[in-house]
Structure 1
Amino acid sequence: METLRSAVRGQVLLPGAPGFDAARRPWNLAVEQPVAAVVEAADADDVAALVRYARSAGLGVATQPNGHGATGRTEGAILLRTRLLDTLDIDPVARRARVGAGVASGRVQAAAAPHGLTGLPGSSPVVSVTGVALGGGLSWFGRAYGWVADSVAAFDVVDADGRPRRVTADADPDLFWALRGGGGDFAVVTALELTLHPAPRLYGGRVLWTAEHAPAVMDAYRRITATAPDELTAWLDLLHFPGADPMVAVDVTHLGDQDEARDLLAPLDRLAAPLSDSRGVMSPAELGAITAEPTDPGAGSSRAELLTELDDTAAKALLAGPVAPLLSVQIRHLGGALARPSDSPHGALAEPYAMYLFGIPADPATAEAVTARQRDFAGAVPVSGRKPYTFLNPGESAADAFTPEALARLRTVKRRHDPRDVFRANFPVGG
């Protein structure tokens, strides 16, 4: 492995070296990530050199900007960090962004917002745009514009032979399709070209109540989402943070003016006075403040499900027991453009809601209790059994995200483009 240092220009850390253990850690500190080496690529040419080295040495390459979605399936692989691939160019006239593999969602939002434009950001501003797009990507504006991957117009990649390539729907339709949500099993993406969307007006924020109001909040949430236009997105959160009383929140964004948003959200204003209400006119660059998720790595345990409905029985089941030992039970309204055809491995989402269950496995007993509570919630509501790729947890696989037909097609693309299994996705399509 010492010859790796002469193969690339970026920093190389080998086992036993100072800083190696810190460099290999994923975002979720509950996941152990064994690797043969860590390489911080200097640029796209460095990525190509690394892939050629790994291929000749019979090693795999696992690509992560900062480790979101890691599963620990990296034994014997070189961990490729792409944080230095940080190019970001905005073309406001063409409404396009060229986004390097290391660029976080929040940077795209900050650069696009002054032009009245937006990308398709999720709840966190620190995840990489490329990582989200490779997993399909659910965003605040998915109801209006579909999967994040639907807005990708081109990928710059390094293939399994270490050759730079540009992948588009015309140049290689099968690989383009696979990269738009099938994960990182097919190539290393060094940059992508993203369509930006108009956002001249945006309204959003969080309304928070004590948990005693949860039944009324749930009822209002269901009424709002039953008739919501595609421009309105609402998420319901059942929360129980350590040292605090249980709470319930509704997080919203609306691609439109304030008065229209207030009319659509009127059922919330007829409820009891909230603990806080941060709703207001906002910039697309401020979306990360709505849920205020941690921006530093930490341990976590998650489970996601897609709900086939949120009827009276499901609503009562969600409210029947305590949230603890979980920190949050989040219900996201889907539908809209997400339910329409998509040239991506996920395709259309028929399910109208997603549920995301999160807890902190502070010790083995707590970890077991968190998993059990997640299982209880999942068993109490109608689920389809399918999960979004970016919401998979380390115990799940690509087969949990895709239909058998889509998975078979992804495996065909993998065999054609990476027959020697150089690339190691978080959730390999092979199993």
Structure 2
Amino acid sequence: MNTLRSVVRGRVWLPGDPGFDTARRPWNLAVEQPVAAVVEAADADDVAALVRHADSAGLGIATQPNGHGATGRTDGTVLLRTGRLDTLALDPSARRARIGAGVSSGRVQAAAARHGLTGLPGSSPVVSVTGVALGGGLSWFGRAHGWVADNVTAFDVVDARGRRRHITADTDPDLFWALRGGGGDFAIVTALELSLHPAPRLYGGRVLWTAEHAPAVLDAYRRITATAPAELTVWFDLLHFPGADPMVALDATYLGDENEARDLLGPLDRLPAPLADGRRIMPVSELGSITAEPTDPGAGASRGELLTGLDDIAAKALLADPIAPLLSVQIRHLGGAFTRPSDSPHGPLTEPYSLYLFGTPMNPAMAEAITAKQHALADALPVSGRKPFTYLNPGETAADAFAPAALDRLRDIKHHHDPHGLFRSNFPVHA
């Protein structure tokens, strides 16, 4: 492993080096991530040099900007950090951005906002755009514009032979298809090109109530989402933070003006007075403030599902018991452009809602209790049996995200482009 320092120009950490344990940690500190070395690539040429070396030395490479979605399936690999691949170039007239593998969603939003444009951000501004796109990607604006991956027009990659390549639907349709949501199993993405969308006006924010009002809030949520246009996205949240009373919230964004949004969200005006109402006209660069998710690594245990509906029976099951020991139970409204045909491994997303269950496992007993609660809630609700790739947890596999035919095609592409298994995705398609 000492030869790595002569192979790449970026920083290298080996076991025993100061900072090695910090460098190898994923975003989710509940996941133990054993690796043989950590390399922070200086640029795409550095990535290519590392791949050629790893191929000749019989090493595997696991690629992470920060480690969101890490599963710990990295034993014996070189962990590649891509944070220094931070190129960001916007072409406002073409509504397109070239985004390096280490660029965060928040940085893209800040740049796009200056031109009245938006990317396809999720709830957190600190995740990398590339990581989200490789997993398909659910965005605040997915109801209007589909999967994040649907909006990727090209990838710059390093393949398993260490060659830098520009991949489009024309140059390599199979690899392009796989990269648009099939995970990081096929090549190392060093940059991608993403279509941007007009967003001259945005209204949104969080409304928060005490938990006693959860039935009324959920009823209003179901009425709003039953007729919501594609420009409106609303999420329902049950929250129970340590040291605080349980609460319920609605998070909303609307790609339009405030008066239209308030009309569409009219059922909220007939609810009891909230604890807080943070709705406002906002720039797209401030979307991360709505849910205010942590921007530093921490321990977490999640479970994601897709729901086939949210009828009276499901609503009753959702609210039957307190959510503890979970911190949050979130339902996202999908539909809209998600249901359109998609030339990606996921294909169209026909389920109308997603479910995300999250807790913080401070000790083994709490981890067990969180898992049991997640299973109980999922079993009580109408889940479809598949889930978005980015919702997978360390105990799941790619087979939980993709239909059998799509998974077979992904495996064929993996075998063709990386027959020796050089690249190690968080959720390998062959597992």
**Do both proteins adopt the same fold according to a TM-score greater than 0.5, normalized to the shorter chain?**
yes
1:256 corresponds in structure 2 to 256
Task: Using the TM superposition, give the Cα deviation of residue 406 of structure 1 relative to its aligned residue in structure 2, in angstroms.
Answer: 0.3
Structure 2, unaligned runs of 5 or more: none
Match runs of 1:34-45 below 5 Å:
34-45=34-45
Q: C-alpha distance in 1, partners of 2:335/2:110?
A: 27
SS in 2 for 1:115: coil
1:168 corresponds in structure 2 to 168
Q: Which amino acid aligns with 2:75?
A: E
Q: C-alpha distance in 2, partners of 1:408/1:354?
A: 25
Q: Which amino acid aligns with 1:273?
A: A
1:416 corresponds in structure 2 to 416
1:293 corresponds in structure 2 to 293
Task: Using the TM superposition, give the Cα deviation of residue 269 of structure 1 relative to its aligned residue in structure 2, in angstroms.
Answer: 1.1
1:193 corresponds in structure 2 to 193
Q: Which amino acid aligns with 2:205?
A: G
2:357 corresponds in structure 1 to 357
Q: C-alpha distance in 2, partners of 1:405/1:324?
A: 38
Task: Using the TM superposition, give the Cα deviation of residue 98 of structure 1 relative to its aligned residue in structure 2, in angstroms.
Answer: 0.4
Q: C-alpha distance in 2, partners of 1:62/1:397?
A: 16
2:347 corresponds in structure 1 to 347
1:178 corresponds in structure 2 to 178
Task: Using the TM superposition, give the Cα deviation of residue 146 of structure 1 relative to its aligned residue in structure 2, in angstroms.
Answer: 0.2
Match runs of 1:305-320 below 5 Å:
305-320=305-320
Q: C-alpha distance in 2, partners of 1:304/1:86?
A: 30
1:102 corresponds in structure 2 to 102
SS in 1 for 2:130: helix
2:395 corresponds in structure 1 to 395
Match runs of 1:50-199 below 5 Å:
50-199=50-199
1:279 corresponds in structure 2 to 279
Query: Can you list the C-alpha shifts for 1:251-294, whole angstroms capped at 9, x where unaligned?
Result: 00000111000000000111000000000111000000000000
Task: Using the TM superposition, give the Cα deviation of residue 15 of structure 1 relative to its aligned residue in structure 2, in angstroms.
Answer: 0.8
SS in 2 for 1:183: coil
Query: Can you list the C-alpha shifts for 1:272-326, whole angstroms capped at 9, x where unaligned?
Result: 0000000011100000000000000000000011000000000010000011000
Q: C-alpha distance in 1, partners of 2:226/2:107?
A: 33
**Residue 336 (1) aligns with residue 339 (2):** no
SS in 2 for 1:230: coil
Displacement over 3 Å in runs of 4+: none
Query: Can you list the C-alpha shifts for 1:70-91, whole angstroms capped at 9, x where unaligned?
Result: 0000011100000000000011
2:325 corresponds in structure 1 to 325
Q: C-alpha distance in 2, partners of 1:270/1:10?
A: 58
**Residue 378 (1) aligns with residue 378 (2):** yes
Q: C-alpha distance in 2, partners of 1:143/1:31?
A: 32
Q: C-alpha distance in 2, partners of 1:394/1:98?
A: 31
Query: Can you list the C-alpha shifts for 1:159-218, whole angstroms capped at 9, x where unaligned?
Result: 000000000000000000000000000000000001000101100000000000000000
Task: Using the TM superposition, give the Cα deviation of residue 10 of structure 1 relative to its aligned residue in structure 2, in angstroms.
Answer: 0.5
Task: Using the TM superposition, give the Cα deviation of residue 350 of structure 1 relative to its aligned residue in structure 2, in angstroms.
Answer: 1.1
CA RMSD, Structure 1 to Structure 2 (Å): 0.4
TM-score normalised over the length of structure 2: 1.00
Q: C-alpha distance in 1, partners of 2:205/2:182?
A: 32
Q: C-alpha distance in 1, partners of 2:87/2:269?
A: 43
Q: C-alpha distance in 1, partners of 2:68/2:51?
A: 21
Task: Using the TM superposition, give the Cα deviation of residue 16 of structure 1 relative to its aligned residue in structure 2, in angstroms.
Answer: 1.1
Q: C-alpha distance in 1, partners of 2:293/2:159?
A: 34
Task: Using the TM superposition, give the Cα deviation of residue 114 of structure 1 relative to its aligned residue in structure 2, in angstroms.
Answer: 1.1
Q: Which amino acid aligns with 2:28?
A: N
Q: Which amino acid aligns with 1:53?
A: H
Aligned residue-pair number: 431
Task: Using the TM superposition, give the Cα deviation of residue 26 of structure 1 relative to its aligned residue in structure 2, in angstroms.
Answer: 0.1
TM-score normalised over the length of structure 1: 1.00
Q: C-alpha distance in 1, partners of 2:233/2:416?
A: 39
Q: C-alpha distance in 2, partners of 1:90/1:190?
A: 17
Q: C-alpha distance in 1, partners of 2:57/2:14?
A: 15
1:3 corresponds in structure 2 to 3
2:31 corresponds in structure 1 to 31
